Amino acid sequence: MEKLAYSHWPVALFAAASLAVPAHAGAPAASFVKTGTIAAPDAGWDIAGWDATHGKLLVAHGVLALPDENLALVASSKDNTVRLIKETSGIEVARIPVGEDHDAVLLSLDGKNAFVMDAGGGALSVVNLAQRKETQRIALKPGLEFPVQYAPNKVAVNNEDLSEIELVDLYTSKMAGAIAPTGCKVPTGMAYDAVTGLALSTCANGKAALVDLASRKLVALVSIGLGPDTASGTAGIVASSSPGARAGRFRSSTWRGASLWWSLG
């Protein structure tokens, strides 16, 4: 085991004093305090991981909280690995080879695997967290960004180079098709709302594409302002944000009962 000492971009840890929800939703605003940093590989912050067990927000290039083990899985695209790092000490406990130039990471619905988007190699790496090794590498297309898992055997992932959403069948380990949302250019962030069955892709041309993944159809194209990047959502609430929150403004809308939140670039 070794402590990462060579990185110039640390993982930032924030502790929440209360649940983070929009202020006008009737709940008190959350209070966040920066609790520390952990040296980690890669540069450029654009993805956050939420550790609900310990009330921490982890921010890095690509990061995933594994609260049961008090670990963070952190992307290291410079050497094509992901690292398992102790949140408390910053000690690296595992280094796992994956595909080329990866970015986003996602925890599987059952919590057993991490999905790693190999943007340069055009593949989805499946990392078994118990075995701490890559067990599958599913060929897709280069340009992968953020994914969502919308069924036990199904993953959807944005492709920013081709302006499409690629669909993956985990049972067959094959690409199962693609959706090209008309009007959405360079999709990056993605969130999925199980209540409505809709995925939201944030598009660099200032749009958010709402897509029904089951029918593979574009449901709506919403104007949200230029420069959106990441997206997240849970329990019918979907949020997207711009890198650095340049405009610092949020808007909201609703679709089929799901509240949609985004910040303008």
Q: Is residue 82 within 8 Å of residue 64, measured between CB atoms? A: no
The upper half-sphere exposure of residue 7, i.e. CA atoms within 13 Å in the direction of its Cβ, equals 25
Q: What is the DSSP string of 204-243?
A: TTTEEEEEETTTTEEEEEEE--S---EEEEETTEEEEE-G
Residue 62 has a pLDDT of 75
Residues of the chain with pLDDT under 50: 1-27, 235-265
Residue 182 has a pLDDT of 96
| Tokens representing residue 64 in the block | 């995933």
Q: Which residue has the tokens 């609260």?
A: 67
Q: Is residue 24 within 8 Å of residue 12, measured between CB atoms? A: no
Residue 32 has a pLDDT of 56
Residue 64 has a pLDDT of 83
Residue 253 has a pLDDT of 45
Residue 159 has a pLDDT of 96
Residue 103 has a pLDDT of 78
Tally Cβ neighbours within 10 Å of residue 210: 25
Residue 16 has a pLDDT of 42
The pair phi, psi for residue 118, each rounded to 5°, is -85, 90
Residue 36 has a pLDDT of 60
Tens of pLDDT along 166-178? Answer: 999 999 999 999 9
The rounded distance, in Å, linking the Cα atoms of 240 and 78 is 27
The rounded distance, in Å, linking the Cα atoms of 112 and 170 is 13
Residue 42 has a pLDDT of 56
The rounded distance, in Å, linking the Cα atoms of 133 and 142 is 22
Residue 33 has a pLDDT of 61
The model's pTM is: 0.76
